[in-house]
Amino acid sequence: MEEEEWPHFVGFVPTLLMEVAPKPENTIAVTCGPPIMIKFVLENLEKLGFAPEQIYTTLENRMKCGIGKCGRCNVGNMYVCKDGPVFSYAMLKTIPEAFA
Ligand code: FES
């Protein structure tokens, strides 16, 4: 529940994104947060007309070694700890396991 005098948005981020509806022209979108939120934010950014090349996100995979040796954080042939954790959505779309 939001505070009475709180002037900012409160709620489910993917839904708020559609209310704010930023225009994709000359814009880069960057998101991070829980994987389920990221999944729906990415879908909604595409609905708003953003190209995958205009969208960047973190992946929040569990890590162990943090240096690309244990394979705990892999997504396809990439390691979130070493190759990320920030990826373009265009790159992630080439990796079927990214949002499995
Ligand atoms: S955490 Fe070990 S490879 Fe990424």
Span 14-72, pLDDT tens digits = 999 999 999 999 999 999 999 899 999 999 999 999 999 999 999 988 899 999 999 99
CB contact at 8 A, 42 and 89: yes
**CA-to-CA dists, residue 96 to 3, 89, 100, angstroms:** 41, 12, 7
Specify the pTM: 0.86
69 lines ligand 1 (CB under 6 A): yes
* DSSP H helices in the chain: 13-20, 35-47, 80-83, 89-92
User: Which of 62, 82, 83, 87 gets mutated to test ligand 1 (max ligand atoms within 8 A of its CB)?
Assistant: 82
Per-domain residue ranges for the chain?
Answer: 13-20+28-99
- Cβ of 75 below 6 Å from ligand 1: no
Residue 67 phi/psi, 5-degree rounding, is -130, 20
Cα 75 to middle of ligand 1, angstroms: 10
Q: Give Cα separations from 28 to 6, 9, 31, 51, 88 (angstroms).
A: 27, 21, 10, 9, 10
What pLDDT band is residue 86 in, cutting at 50, 70 and 90?
A: very high
CA–centroid distance, 42 to ligand 1, in Å, is 25
Residue 100: predicted pLDDT: 64
Residue 94 has pLDDT above 70, yes or no: yes
